[in-house]
Chain A
Amino acid sequence: MTMRIFLLLGTLIVIVLLPQFLAPFHIRVVQLFFFTAALALAWNVMGGLAGYWSFGHTVFIGIGAFAAAHFVAKLGLPAGPLQMIAGIVFGALFCGIVAAIIAYPILRLRGIYFAIAMLGIGQVAAELANNVGWFQGDVGLFLETALPDGVEPERFFYYVFAGLFLFTWMVSLVVMRSRFGYGLLAIREDEDTAKMLGVPTEQIKAFGFTISAVLVGMLGATYAYSLGYFTASSVFRIDFSLNMIIYCLIGGIGTLAGPVVGAALMLLLTQIILGQLLELHLLATGLVVILIVLTLPNGVMGLVGGEAFRRRFSMRAGGKAR
């Protein structure tokens, strides 16, 4: 136990001090890591634990961003830390409401049909945000950030995303340790049996979906703040959806460390090592995905986890195709 506390404190100190030693570009990379790792963790609540693979989770990034921007604009809140917090909280809550509403119809679908339905919802939301004048998705929206004096934006958002990452991590940890988390796992292993044994699968799925959406919406609203100006196509991005899945798979789906490890590995590879080879970016990502599936079907965490781990968390168990 004391080990863990020291580990946690050590991590915190590293996170706090790291920007002092990094160039602005690398601060941005680490900031991106916090953002994408948190997204992957949020996806993992539904995709990893319950085996419901959403292929359109970016819809909540977009809804979070749009809700936050319209909320602060309609209320005419002055730019400042309070406005930012209000926007992010509203974006997150709004995503939660949307998720709770669509949860019942959409979660009746399983496997690939759920995945594609989410993809469809993502596309519909993106097109509507882009084409319905009221949303202003085509001309774009502004979200002003009031930076504290003497702090560069990359450093400010580094700390903001670090905080949100830790928050998402804590939520994931609590979910995984809770009875509710075991309910999600039971759904992944065999939904019908779980239901027969008295697990309230409908409520658990809806709740898990909502939690996942709230976390993604919070991150999405913050992402919009970090951009300052965004359009529909900069938040409803299909590559966000796919990256959430890929990071989880590479690290180890359904685990706590997996999504984080996966995000770190892929960002290291694509941003740092392949940063010069922009033309071959897709090719390299594709190769890595194929190699991981062929060589590490349980993700990187499957290497260190041993047999017990493999039995509990693996790609074999997750996301049945039909």
Chain B
Amino acid sequence: MRDPNFSDRQAMLIIQTALNGLVLGGVYSLAAVGFSLIFGALGIVNLTHGIFVICGAYAAMVLFHVFGIDPFLATVPVAIAFFFIGYAYQRGLIQVAISRASLVASLLVTFGVALIMRNLLQLVFSPDVRTITPSYSFSSLTFGSLRIDIVRLIAVLVSIVFLLLMALVLSKTAFGRRIRATAQQPLAANLSGVNVPHVLGQTFGLGAAFAAASGAVLGIVQPFSPSSEDFWTLNAFIVVVLGGVGSPSGALLGGILLGLISSFTAQFIGPSYTNAVMFLVLVIMLLIRPQGLLGSAFGESR
């Protein structure tokens, strides 16, 4: 005997799943946009990306517990701090490795740093899984039978604000123009008076800042531990491959797709299959359209 409301409830379930996916995707987009910028502009696959995200989450946790700063406000100081950390890291280590060996060496160096940082985070914060829980973290809004957590809603809004900010910086400011010029043609940019090594460092810093800011947001939405860093690195890579390299819009599209894929897989196939389906999509995408749905933002002259 079929339940007369069966199709109604099925429809609500699909809408709720889509909503969850969109919310998750918004956060994924922010977490990936820094990786995307660094990959697109510098050609570096930054395996330390997940570490930046997790460090951002820990920094927000410390700020929250010690100074009582709201995690969403903590994104700003965390981002500023990681801009300088990222700049120093690129100029001091990654650039040195690239000039001594090759671009591929940057993979190894960032991997090595990721191992070191993961170990240090385990020593300092213990390998336990943490969450940041501000007072409002268990309240939620309901629309009819649809439900959304307030933290998640704020997280998505903050993510979209950050993505817009990145888009504006890249397209409207002189700094953004220097970044785009360097990404397209380092030599020509240099001839036009751009200090290329400096801009490369700044670009990396910007990527690191956005990664850390996303970590502060993620800390409220999802549990984290030092060993979840590789999840965020891979996630960022999948987002970039889905959406396209180097642009906030690509990251947003890729992030939302990934969010939808993982929430629908978890709901209708089984939660233990989300990773398998995510990677399957990644491999298929690489095979049919490796440049991503929107293509590379800096690709015109390469």
A-side contacts of B283, CB under 8 Å? 106, 117, 120-121, 124
User: B102 and A315: CB pair below 8 A?
Assistant: yes
A-side contacts of B161, CB under 8 Å? none
Q: B176 within 8 Å of A by Cβ?
A: no
User: B113 and A286: CB pair below 8 A?
Assistant: yes
B-side contacts of A318, CB under 8 Å? 102, 104
User: A130 and B111: CB pair below 8 A?
Assistant: no
Q: 4 other contacts beyond A121-B279, A294-B97, with CB at 8 A cut-off?
A: A113-B290, A290-B116, A315-B104, A319-B104
Cα A320 to Cα B45 in complex, Å, equals 13
Cα A130 to Cα B275 in complex, Å, equals 11
Q: Would you mind naming 21 contact pairs between A and B with Cβ atoms under 8 Å apart?
A: A109-B286, A112-B45, A116-B45, A120-B279, A123-B279, A124-B279, A127-B273, A282-B118, A282-B119, A282-B122, A283-B120, A286-B112, A288-B112, A289-B108, A289-B109, A290-B108, A290-B116, A315-B101, A315-B105, A319-B102, A322-B43
Cα A285 to Cα B115 in complex, Å, equals 7
User: A293 and B105: CB pair below 8 A?
Assistant: yes
Considering only residues 120-149 of chain A, those with a C-beta below 8 Å from chain B are 120-121, 123-124, 127-128, 130-131
Cα A68 to Cα B282 in complex, Å, equals 29
Considering only residues 246-285 of chain A, those with a C-beta below 8 Å from chain B are 246, 249, 279-283, 285
How near does chain A come to B188, taking the closest CB pair, in angstroms? 19
Q: B1 within 8 Å of A by Cβ?
A: no
Cα A281 to Cα B116 in complex, Å, equals 9
Q: A120-B279, A297-B101 are in contact. Are A282 and B115 (CB under 8 A)?
A: yes
User: B287 and A117: CB pair below 8 A?
Assistant: yes
Cα A123 to Cα B112 in complex, Å, equals 21
Count of interface residues, chain B, beta-carbon cutoff 8 Å: 42
Q: A282-B115, A293-B109, A321-B43 are in contact. Are A123 and B276 (CB under 8 A)?
A: yes
User: A293 and B286: CB pair below 8 A?
Assistant: no
Q: B96 within 8 Å of A by Cβ?
A: yes
A-side contacts of B43, CB under 8 Å? 321-322
A-side contacts of B123, CB under 8 Å? 279
Contact digits for B38-54, partner A, Cβ 8 Å, 1 yes 0 no: 00000101000000000
Interface residues of A, dominant DSSP: helix
Q: A316 within 8 Å of B by Cβ?
A: yes
Q: A4 within 8 Å of B by Cβ?
A: no
Cα A113 to Cα B287 in complex, Å, equals 9
The CB with the most chain A CB atoms within 10 A, among B43, B270, B283, is that of B283
How near does chain A come to B270, taking the closest CB pair, in angstroms? 7
Q: A315-B105, A321-B43 are in contact. Are A130 and B286 (CB under 8 A)?
A: no
Cα A281 to Cα B127 in complex, Å, equals 14
Cα A293 to Cα B95 in complex, Å, equals 12
Contact of B116 among A108, A124, A282, A297 (CB under 8 A): A282
Q: A112-B45, A297-B100, A297-B101 are in contact. Are A131 and B273 (CB under 8 A)?
A: yes
CB contacts between A and B, total, < 8 Å: 129
Cα A120 to Cα B103 in complex, Å, equals 22
Cα A112 to Cα B104 in complex, Å, equals 8
Q: B168 within 8 Å of A by Cβ?
A: no
Cα A316 to Cα B105 in complex, Å, equals 9
Q: A131-B273, A287-B116 are in contact. Are A320 and B290 (CB under 8 A)?
A: no
User: A127 and B114: CB pair below 8 A?
Assistant: no
Cα A246 to Cα B109 in complex, Å, equals 11
Q: A73 within 8 Å of B by Cβ?
A: no
Cα A242 to Cα B241 in complex, Å, equals 22
Considering only residues 197-241 of chain B, those with a C-beta below 8 Å from chain A are 230, 234, 237, 241
Cα A123 to Cα B233 in complex, Å, equals 14
How near does chain A come to B136, taking the closest CB pair, in angstroms? 35
Cα A112 to Cα B122 in complex, Å, equals 29
A-side contacts of B279, CB under 8 Å? 120-121, 123-124, 127
Cα A283 to Cα B282 in complex, Å, equals 30
Cα A136 to Cα B105 in complex, Å, equals 38
Contact of A242 among B96, B109, B111, B275 (CB under 8 A): B111
Cα A109 to Cα B230 in complex, Å, equals 23
B-side contacts of A112, CB under 8 Å? 45, 107
Q: A120-B283, A297-B101 are in contact. Are A283 and B116 (CB under 8 A)?
A: yes
Cα A281 to Cα B108 in complex, Å, equals 17
Cα A132 to Cα B184 in complex, Å, equals 46
What are the 5 A-B residue pairs with the smallest beta carbon separation, nearest first? Answer: A286-B115, A127-B276, A297-B101, A289-B112, A286-B116
Contact of B290 among A109, A123, A238 (CB under 8 A): A109
The CB with the most chain A CB atoms within 10 A, among B97, B276, B280, is that of B276
User: B275 and A293: CB pair below 8 A?
Assistant: no
How near does chain B come to A261, taking the closest CB pair, in angstroms? 17
Q: A43 within 8 Å of B by Cβ?
A: no
A-side contacts of B96, CB under 8 Å? 294
Cα A123 to Cα B230 in complex, Å, equals 12
User: A280 and B104: CB pair below 8 A?
Assistant: no
User: B100 and A293: CB pair below 8 A?
Assistant: yes
Q: A105 within 8 Å of B by Cβ?
A: yes
B-side contacts of A117, CB under 8 Å? 282-283, 286-287
